[in-house]
Structures are given as C-alpha cells and as structure tokens.
C-alpha cells in the first residue's frame, strides 16, 4: 500500500528525516514511534503530500503524493494539532467535508459509531478533547479511505479516552482498512500496531513486529519467586537461564527462550524446590527502546 525508499527531508540545514525506507502492507496497523523531533510527523506528512520531499521516493497506492487530488480519493488523514474553524458545528463540519468527495461515507453512521450522534448540533470547540479527536477521525473517514493516517491521535487524551480510541482504531483495521499512525506511547504501539518502526534522530532504529523487535534486541525475561529451600547453585541447571540473583529468599532469574517459564517451573518442581509468588516479566518495546538508545522514551518527553 505504501512504499518509502530512502526518504530524506531537510529544512534549511536541519535533516529531519535521513534516508529511511519501509513499506506498509494492506490491512495492517503500522506505527511509527519515537521521541518528539525524531522525524515522525515529517515522514507522515510526506506520505500525505503535505511536505516537500528532499530525496528518495514515496508512493501511496502507487500514487506519488504530490498528486494530491488523486491521492485524497483514497486516504483519510488526521493531522497533529490541526483544528477546525471556530464556531463550526459538528453537523456543518461533516457536511462540508462530505462535499469534498465523490463518494463520501455517510457521516450520520460514522457519528453514531463514534458515539457522537447526540453532538450533531454542538459546536466543535465545546467538545471534550477526546470527542474532538473522535471528530477528526470521523472527518478522516468521510473520505471513505483505504488508508488512514493518524498523527499523534491520542496525545493529550485521558487514559479512558485513549483506550476508547484504541478500540476504534482496531475496528478500522478489522474492516480491512490500513492504518499508519505515529505515537510516542509505547503501550499504545504494543497494543495496537501489527508492525512498528522505531524512529530515533531522523533514522529508523528498528522495524518489525513488537515480538520480533524484542527478540532481535535479545532482552532477557525475568522470573521472580520466593523460596525457602532454594540455593543458587541448584538453579543453575535450568535451560536458558543466564543470570541468577538472590536477596533474602527472593530469587530473580534472567534468561532467554520461548519456554523459559515452563522449563523453570518444571525444573524446580522436579528438584522439589519450594516456591511461591512466582511471576514472569517479559521485556517490551520500552526495553527495546532503552537498549537501542540508552534512555527511556518517557524521559525524553
């Protein structure tokens, strides 16, 4: 659906995007994640035909985004921080955007689906932040798009509104639409995205499914339990465990492998090692980011 080859964007002497390449497949949610200033918005705006490309090549459904008129019959966008005219009502806004397209989607259906049917006569600026963001998705969907671009859609939303939004985005994918989104929330990317592209300092640091990225980063899982009779030496035979620490009867075991938890439980059960409060924490995207960059994403925001 989307192909990006060696895309470069420069502003005067600043390189915002430095020769990146990736592709987005039909029907997937593709996330570009990274700290502010990593080049996420510049990248997405090149795909939307809103920004000049300094180098490389971009096609969206085979169309060069410079060709706005052709492109926008197929895509719907939500722009970061963009708002709608002051004093416009929800209904008027929907009607206006419907007039822009040859085959617009029925906005009444969309408003109902997004739980905004009773807000039709409300002024857009009087809506809550979450409702306004929903409106911007409704407006993007009026285009009847095959691809939807969402730029920092959930930034500034409260946790409940964010989770509502996640379900809505998932439902779009489930009806066969392709979603390309940017975010700086790791949990959001983990929960929503089929594939993610980690952008750091204008470049792609890693790309793939969350699982692939975690495996590639070779991060350890951590298994913790409390035991009265375990000895460190007696645990060393567990397959896959590479490091063991003990503190007052609390054991932390680090290691890799698909069956690490099962192997551990089987091993300590066979050895008649007593254990309680056993838990296993798997590394996530946040840990991948930390390993690749040396800092936590949350700390960068």
Partner 1 sequence: MKAFVSMSVTEFRLSLRNFIYMFFAFVFPPMMLLLFGGIYGNEPTAFYKGHGAVDVLTPAYISMILAVSGIMGLPMQLAEYRQHKVLKRFKATPVSTGTIMIPHFVVNSILCVIGTLILMIVGKLVFNLHFFGNIFYFLAAYILSVMCIFSIGFLIAAIAPNNRAASAIAYLIYFPMLFLSGASMPLQMMPKAIVNVSRFIPLTYCVEILQGTWMGDPLSAFLGQIIILAAIAIVCTAVSIKIFRWE
* Residues at the site binding partner 1, with contacts judged by CB under 8 A: 48, 50, 68-69, 71-73, 77, 79, 81-88, 92, 95-97, 99-101, 143
Cβ-based nearer residue to partner 1, 135 or 207: 135
Query: Do 212 and 219 contact (CB within 8 A), yes or no?
Result: no
Minimum separation from the CB atom of position 132 to partner 1 (A): 12
Cβ-based nearer residue to partner 1, 99 or 272: 99
Residues in the chain: 301
Query: Do 9 and 199 contact (CB within 8 A), yes or no?
Result: no
Cβ-based nearer residue to partner 1, 82 or 299: 82
* Dist CA 180 CA 219 (whole Å): 27
Looking at the chain, which runs of residues are DSSP E strands?
A: 2-11, 14-24, 29-33, 55-60, 75-78, 147-151, 178-183, 195-200, 203-208, 221-226, 241-247, 250-255, 276-281
Minimum separation from the CB atom of position 89 to partner 1 (A): 9
Minimum separation from the CB atom of position 252 to partner 1 (A): 49
- Cα atoms in the 13 Å half-sphere on the side-chain side of 270: 10
* Dist CA 197 CA 31 (whole Å): 6
Cβ-based nearer residue to partner 1, 68 or 231: 68
Cβ-based nearer residue to partner 1, 95 or 211: 95
Minimum separation from the CB atom of position 62 to partner 1 (A): 17
**Nearest-CA neighbor of 295 among 37, 41, 35, 36?**
35
Q: Is 153 exposed, middle or buried (0-12, 13-18, 19+ CB in 10 A)?
A: buried
Cβ-based nearer residue to partner 1, 131 or 264: 131
Minimum separation from the CB atom of position 92 to partner 1 (A): 6
Cβ-based nearer residue to partner 1, 48 or 188: 48
* Dist CA 269 CA 233 (whole Å): 16
Query: Do 29 and 181 contact (CB within 8 A), yes or no?
Result: yes
Minimum separation from the CB atom of position 99 to partner 1 (A): 3
Minimum separation from the CB atom of position 25 to partner 1 (A): 23
State the DSSP string of 52-93. Answer: ---EEEEEETTB-TT-HHHHTTTEEEE-TT----TT-BHHHH
């Amino acid at each position: 659906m989307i192909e990006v080859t060696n895309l470069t964007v420069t502003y005067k002497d600043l390189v915002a995007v430095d020769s990146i390449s990736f592709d987005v497949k039909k029907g997937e949610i593709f996330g570009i994640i990274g700290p502010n200033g990593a080049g996420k918005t510049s990248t997405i705006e090149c795909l939307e035909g809103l920004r000049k490309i300094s180098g490389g090549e971009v096609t969206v459904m085979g169309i060069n985004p410079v060709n706005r008129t052709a492109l926008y019959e197929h895509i719907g966008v939500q722009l970061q921080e963009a708002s709608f005219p002051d004093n416009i009502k929800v209904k008027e806004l929907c009607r206006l955007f419907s007039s822009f397209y040859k085959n617009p989607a029925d906005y009444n259906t969309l408003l109902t689906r997004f739980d905004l049917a009773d807000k039709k006569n409300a002024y857009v600026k009087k809506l809550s932040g979450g409702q306004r963001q929903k409106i911007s998705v409704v407006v993007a969907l009026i285009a009847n798009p095959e691809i939807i671009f969402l730029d920092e859609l959930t930034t500034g939303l409260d946790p409940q509104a964010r989770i509502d939004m996640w379900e809505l985005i998932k439902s779009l994918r489930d009806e066969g639409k392709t979603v390309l989104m940017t975010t700086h929330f790791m949990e959001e990317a983990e929960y929503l995205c089929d594939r993610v592209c980690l952008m750091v300092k204008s470049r792609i640091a890693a790309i793939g499914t969350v699982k692939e990225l975690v495996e590639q980063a070779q991060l350890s899982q951590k298994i913790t339990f409390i035991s009265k009779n375990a000895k460190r030496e007696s645990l060393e035979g567990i397959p896959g465990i590479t490091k063991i620490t003990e503190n007052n009867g609390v054991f932390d075991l680090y290691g890799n492998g698909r069956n690490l938890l099962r192997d551990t439980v089987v091993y300590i059960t066979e050895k008649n090692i007593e254990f309680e409060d056993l838990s296993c924490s798997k590394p996530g995207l946040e840990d991948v980011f930390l390993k690749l960059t040396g800092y936590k994403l949350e700390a960068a925001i």
